[in-house]
A and B are shown apart, each in its own frame.
Chain A
Amino acid sequence: MKDNRIKMRAWNGIIKNLYYDYRVAFKVGFIISAVIVISMFIVNTIAIGIDGSVSGKSNGGAMNFTAMTALITILVSSIDLTSKKGLESKFFFPLNKMVWSLANFVMMAFAAFVFTTMSLALTAIEMILSNILSANSAHFLFVSNFSLYEYTGGTITLFMYILVWGSIVYCLFMYFRKYLIVSLVGFTLLIIFPIIRGGQLYVHVINFFVLEDVILFFILKFLALTLLLHGLAYLPFRKMEVVK
């Protein structure tokens, strides 16, 4: 009973702590993407007013801007998370390494969901603004590219890309943190070796994951990859000395 209470306390503590760290990334991501979407609407409106020529737009802009922002902010957050300061500032009684690792996985999935939702919200705003402009101007048209199938597939894909990207960076920098020289040499060799051989190894590997048209298999492959990366990241972390 007491053990459970202690565990719950550790969970609550680390989740809240990580959430406050990610909150900055969420805010930055949202502000940058929202500014771009609204700026584009304003520029379009002004351009039509001044020029009077016909212009067109299809959706996807907001989704892509937000996705790019998400990938960059997740990259920065994951690097920060595995830094010396990031690791040590998280440790407080009764937190242990397993709880910390699991909390990281949960928060990364949460972050991916936040960015996906953010992307959809901005896409919806973009569509509303563009439709208003299209309805009020003979010089502007807006075409919606999304069908239900594309929407579902695109949303799941976006979520999985952000999750896996965050996990790759997290895993990589955990090894850099523990075994810097060995990891750097290994990583460089891993990049260079297939290029020297002239093979298409990485293309095949990426294709195996990315070019999957059955959405269920796509999810399973990416989920397995995410779990594998978090599992691999736990190995050096387990041997790490983190004191506070």
Chain B
Amino acid sequence: MMIKKLIQLVVIFIISSGIILSMNLISSSERLSTENLVNSFSLEGEKQLIVDGFDYISIVGDENLTDTVEVYQTLIWEQKGKKLDDRLNGKMSYNRGKLLYEGKQIENYYIYETNPFLAFYLSRDLTESLHSRYIIKVPTHIEAKSINFRSCYHD
């Protein structure tokens, strides 16, 4: 009886996984354009960059970077031409390899990439940034390669 139940569970597990991942593929074309946009940035000489995306970005920077890079996060809730909301949601900044949110350090922020379950509990606001516009202010003297932006949809 237990074996039968276990087989049933495995079947449900596989079917559910199939549905979730296939739904993910359906909307991948929208993400692709975002991904290209995010990756095409060059910071050199820029004072302000605006990144539109339905996903978040992680910032991988030089550990020795001392200047603060401010990341303003604006929720736009916009997809398929439907604009839902427009509000300033908070401010993230990046300094010396640390990502800060409202002045507080977010340790190991990469967790948002690996763990959607935990992300929900750590910070709703940051999880909501999956549908955000980022305005990134970068001091002019930062070297071009000191910060990379990337979409969370890199598999």
Contacts and interface: CB of A to CB of B under 8 A. Distances in A.
A1 to B, nearest CB: 23
Interface in A202-220: 207, 210-211, 213, 215
B89 to A, nearest CB: 14
B2 A15 contact: yes
B117 A158 contact: yes
Given A113-B9, A157-B117, A158-B117, A143 B79 contact: yes
A143 B130 contact: yes
A147 B84 contact: no
Contact of A58 (B1, B12, B110, B131): B131
B116 interface: yes
Majority SS of interface residues in chain A?
A: helix
Contacts of A124: 15-16, 19-20
Contact of B108 (A19, A138, A207): A207
Given A138-B82, A146-B116, A148-B24, 13 more contacts: A19-B2, A60-B116, A63-B116, A141-B80, A143-B27, A144-B26, A149-B114, A149-B155, A150-B114, A150-B115, A150-B116, A151-B21, A213-B114
Contacts of A63: 116-117
A117 interface: yes
B111 interface: yes
Interface string B55-89: 10000000000000000000001011011110000
Nearest to B121: A64
Interface in A127-162: 127-128, 131, 138-139, 141, 143-151, 153-155, 157-158, 161
B102 interface: no
A9 interface: no
A116 B33 CA distance: 33
12 contacts: A19-B5, A56-B77, A56-B79, A58-B128, A117-B16, A120-B13, A121-B15, A143-B54, A144-B24, A145-B130, A149-B113, A151-B20
B12 A215 contact: no
B80 to A, nearest CB: 6
Contacts of B153: 147
Contact of A56 (B1, B111, B131): B131
A39 interface: no
B50 interface: no
Interface of A: 15-16, 19, 54-56, 58, 60, 63-64, 67, 110, 113-114, 116-117, 120-121, 123-124, 127-128, 131, 138-139, 141, 143-151, 153-155, 157-158, 161, 207, 210-211, 213, 215
Contacts of A146: 20-21, 24, 116
B117 A127 contact: no
Given A144-B27, A151-B21, A64 B114 contact: no
B13 A141 contact: no
B79 A151 contact: no
A207 B107 contact: yes
